Amino acid sequence: MTNDPRDARDLSAAARSAEVDPLHRALKALPAPRAPRTLLPRVLVDAEARRRQPGIAPWFAWSIEWRLTAAAAVVLVVGSLWFAWPAITLVGTLVLDRVAGAVEARAVATVPGIAALAHLATLAWEMVVQPALGYVLVWMVVMCAISVAIGAAFSAALGRAAFGEATQ
Amino acid sequence: MTDLTRFEALVLEYQDMVFAVAVRLLGNASEAEDVSQTVFLKVFERFDEVAASPALAGWLKTVTTNACLNHLSRYRSRWRLFSELPRERDNPGRTESVIDALPSSTPSVEDEVVRAERQAQLEAALRALPDHQRVPLVLFHFEEQSYQEIADLIGVSLAKVKTDIHRGRESLRRLVSSDE
């Protein structure tokens, strides 16, 4: 073999055999390094501390059953919110209208001058806040869902970066 | 809950294998011990899932390899820079030979001692290789991975893997060839 790097290109897996490659033979004959005696105690101490540590393991470290259950729960919650949204907005509007009406009536009864202000607030509510309320709430739900998804993906990516496909 | 006794038995069984992979990839016993500890804690976290796996040894090797590469990637910029420069370390100029590691027909005690010394030299030379040569070389010769697998794993080009392995082999071969 020469110093030409093409030699390495030609070195196939078959060429690793002991008959062909004395270096491979010498390397494979090296005794495997032994773990230091300090490794086992270190691992056990850390494991014991980890076992006593309260808290929840990262999502990607859960068993597959728990991960599926958690994913199903998220889908259930989001789906429920999606289908129940008209009813939620209807109830919310009714409650808010009733509260606003009661406050307005009491205010009118005590301070007549407030009637105009209350009327103005009612107008502002009906024309500005109420139409946007649904969109704002939907936006908040979507952002929360995206945040959760990004967090899960980031955790998975971290795990994959550290431990590769072996964690699959 | 994880059974610590079972976990301890698992660590005892595989600690040499995990440490050997780590120390050869990292070239540093202290860092290899840290990485080995991390790997076993990963096992502990999912002990029930992995302990019964028949592919546990292969899984441990893969996890250890990835953990070592992740450890080395902290120095990736230095790794790349040095890989482009001619290094005196790439040509250590050692002329000592390492005896052939295959057992002779009737090895004497002296032969055994000499062989052990030269194996230690080769092991030291392997650990002294720069990261960018040692890692692909170890994956190629000890983990029996192909060039393409190594290139994919490390994230460098196939040509660079071949060149680095060649240069690493050249450095080590000087220790071996003069004894052939």
Taking contacts as CB-CB distances below 8 angstroms, the residues of chain B near A48 are: 4
**pLDDT higher at A159 or B55:** B55
B29/A36 touch (CB, cutoff 8 Å), yes or no: yes
Would you state the structure tokens that stand for residue B26, as one six-digit string? Answer: 């990292």
Of A12, A20, A25, A27, which to mutate for an interface test with B (greatest number of B Cβ within 10 Å)? A27
A26/B98 touch (CB, cutoff 8 Å), yes or no: yes
Would you state the structure tokens that stand for residue B153, as one six-digit string? Answer: 């794993």
Q: How far is CA A42 from CA A46, A149, B82, in A?
A: 6, 35, 34
Residue A19 has pLDDT above 70, yes or no: no
What digits encode the pLDDT tens for the residues B79-103? 554 454 444 444 444 333 443 434 4
Which residue shows structure tokens 């590469």? Answer: B69
What is the maximum span of chain B, computed from C-alpha positions, in angstroms? 57
pLDDT band at B104 (very low <50, low <70, confident <90, very high): very low
Residue A108 has pLDDT above 50, yes or no: yes
User: With helix as H, strand as E and coil as C, how does chain A read?
Assistant: CCCCCHHHHCCCCHHHCCCCCHHHHHHHCCCCCCCCCCHHHHHHHHHHHHHHCCCCCCHHHCCHHHHHHHHHHHHHHHHHHHHHHHHHHHHHHHHHHHHHHHHHHHHHHHCCCHHHHHHHHHHHHHHHHHHHHHHHHHHHHHHHHHHHHHHHHHHHHHHHHHHHHHHC
Rounded average pLDDT over B1-12: 82
Distance (Å) from the C-alpha of residue B44 to the closest C-alpha of chain A? 7
Residue B44 has pLDDT above 70, yes or no: yes
Rg (C-alpha) for chain B, rounded Å, is 18
Which pLDDT score is estimated for B107? 63
What digits encode the pLDDT tens for the residues B11-37? 999 999 999 999 999 988 999 999 999
Question: Minimal CA–CA distance to A8: which of B123, B156, B139, B159?
Answer: B159
Torsion angle of alpha carbons B115, B116, B119, B120, nearest 10°? -140
Which pLDDT score is estimated for A16? 58
Would you state the structure tokens that stand for residue A53, as one six-digit string? Answer: 């540590």
Q: How far is CA B179 from CA A82, B115, B116, in A?
A: 77, 12, 15
Q: How far is CA B83 from CA B63, B94, B132, B142, in A?
A: 25, 21, 6, 22
Of A42, A163, A165, A167, which to mutate for an interface test with B (greatest number of B Cβ within 10 Å)? A163
Residue A40 has pLDDT above 60, yes or no: yes
What digits encode the pLDDT tens for the residues B120-171? 888 888 888 888 899 999 999 888 889 999 999 888 899 999 999 999 998 8
Comparing CB atoms, the residue among B19, B142, B176 nearest residue A26 is B176
Burial of B127 (0-12, 13-18, 19+ CB in 10 A): middle
Q: What is the pTM of this model?
A: 0.57
Taking contacts as CB-CB distances below 8 angstroms, the residues of chain A near B59 are: 166
Q: Where are the alpha helices (DSSP H) in chain B?
A: 4-26, 29-45, 47-50, 56-73, 76-84, 109-128, 131-141, 147-154, 158-177
B41/A46 touch (CB, cutoff 8 Å), yes or no: yes
Taking contacts as CB-CB distances below 8 angstroms, the residues of chain A near B20 are: 32-35
Q: How far is CA B127 from the centre of its chain?
A: 8
Chain B residue at shortest CA distance from A4: B166
Please answer whether residues B97 and B175 qualify as being in contact, where contact means their C-beta atoms are separated by less than 8 angstroms.
Answer: yes
Question: Minimal CA–CA distance to A74: which of A139, A152, A154, A158?
Answer: A152
Taking contacts as CB-CB distances below 8 angstroms, the residues of chain B near A157 are: none
In 10 A of CB B169, how many CB atoms?
24
